Amino acid sequence: MKEGFSGSRTIVLPKMAIDMMRKDPIMSQLHITDIGYYPHAHQHYVKREQPIAQYILIYVMDGTGHYWYEDENGKRHEYAVEANHYFIIPAFAPHAYWTDEDTPWTIYWIHFEGALAKYYAQEACSPQLVKAELYSRISTRTDHFEEIFNLLSLGYTPEALGYASSLLNYYLSSLRYIKQYRSAIQHQEGKNECFNIIEESIHYMKENIEKRLTLKDIADYTGYSASHFTALFRQATGKAPLAYFNILKMQYACDLLKNTSMQINQICHKIGFEDCYYFSRIFSKIVGLPPTKYRERGDIV
C-alpha cells in the first residue's frame, strides 16, 4: 500500500467521532470514516484480504486503474476503470485496487458506512461512467466533495459531523440518481448554434478543470475540426481555447488560494499541473502575482 503522493489530502476520522455518528439516529444512517484525494497516484496499490466494515467509493477523475472484489459467494469480480468512472467496493468483501503504471489515476475516495450505505452501493459495484455533457454538473459535485473535506478538516463537533453526513447523502444521491441530478437545472433555449458550441465547450472545460485537456480533446467533444473550432472560439471569446482553459484553471486556483488552506503544491495538482514551477509561472502571467503573493494579499488582481 503506497500513500503520501504529492498533492494528496487525507482525513481519517478518530474513533471517538465514528462512535458518535454510529450512536446518532440520523448520522447512523450514513456517515464517513475516511476521505481523501490522490492526484497522479504513481504506484498506488491497496489489497485487503481481510475485509473492512466500510464501503469504499472511488471516483476516477483522470488516468486508469483496476480493481477486484469478492462477493458473498466467493466469486471474484475484476474490472478496469478510466477517467470519469466511479465504483463502490462492498463492505466485508476482500478486494484490491491499483493504478495503472503508465497512466496513473487521480482519484477522490470515501470510506463510508451506515444503514443506507448498501443501497447506494447496490448498482455501483461495477464501473459507472459519468460523461461530461452540457448539464452534467461534474464540477458542482466536486465542490460538494470539497465542502465535505473542508468541513471535516475543521473538527468533529456533532454539528459538523451531522452536516457532513447530510452532504454525503446528497453526494451519493447525485451519482445514484444522475439523470434527475442533471435535469434539475434550468435548460436555456433559443441560442444560435455557434453560441451553443462555445457555451458547451466552456462548460466541458469547467467539468474537466482538473485534467490536462488537449485542443483535440475539446474540439472532438464539439464535433468540429481543431482548426474550425479554434476559429469559432477566437471569434466568440477573443482567445485560443487552451489559453482560455488556463484562465479558467487560474480562476479556480485563485478561489482555492483565497478560500481554502490547501498548500500550493496541492492546488497545483488539483488543477491538472504536475510541475509546480510551471504552474507558478502560468499563474503569475495570468494573474499578475505568484501564488504565494496572491494568497498574502487575498484580493482580486
| Across 152-167, average pLDDT | 95
The share of the chain scoring above pLDDT 70, in percent, equals: 94
pTM over 0.85: no
More confident residue, 194 or 49: 49
Confidence (pLDDT) at 190:
47
Q: What confidence tier does 84 reach under pLDDT thresholds 50, 70, 90?
A: very high
Q: What confidence tier does 1 reach under pLDDT thresholds 50, 70, 90?
A: very low
| Across 191-210, average pLDDT | 83
Over the stretch 229-279, which tens digit does the pLDDT of each residue have?
999 999 888 999 999 999 999 999 999 999 899 999 999 999 999 899 999
Is the model's pLDDT at 7 over the cut of 90?
no
- Which amino acid, 69? Y
CA pair distance 138, 185, nearest whole angstrom:
13
Confidence (pLDDT) at 192:
53
Domains along the chain?
9-183 (2.60.120.280), 193-297 (1.10.10.60)
Confidence (pLDDT) at 32:
98
Confidence (pLDDT) at 197:
86
Confidence (pLDDT) at 4:
62
Instruction: State which of 5-9, 15-19, 184-188, 191-195 shows the largest mean pLDDT.
Output: 15-19
Q: What confidence tier does 3 reach under pLDDT thresholds 50, 70, 90?
A: low
Is the model's pLDDT at 301 over the cut of 70?
no
| Across 14-28, average pLDDT | 97
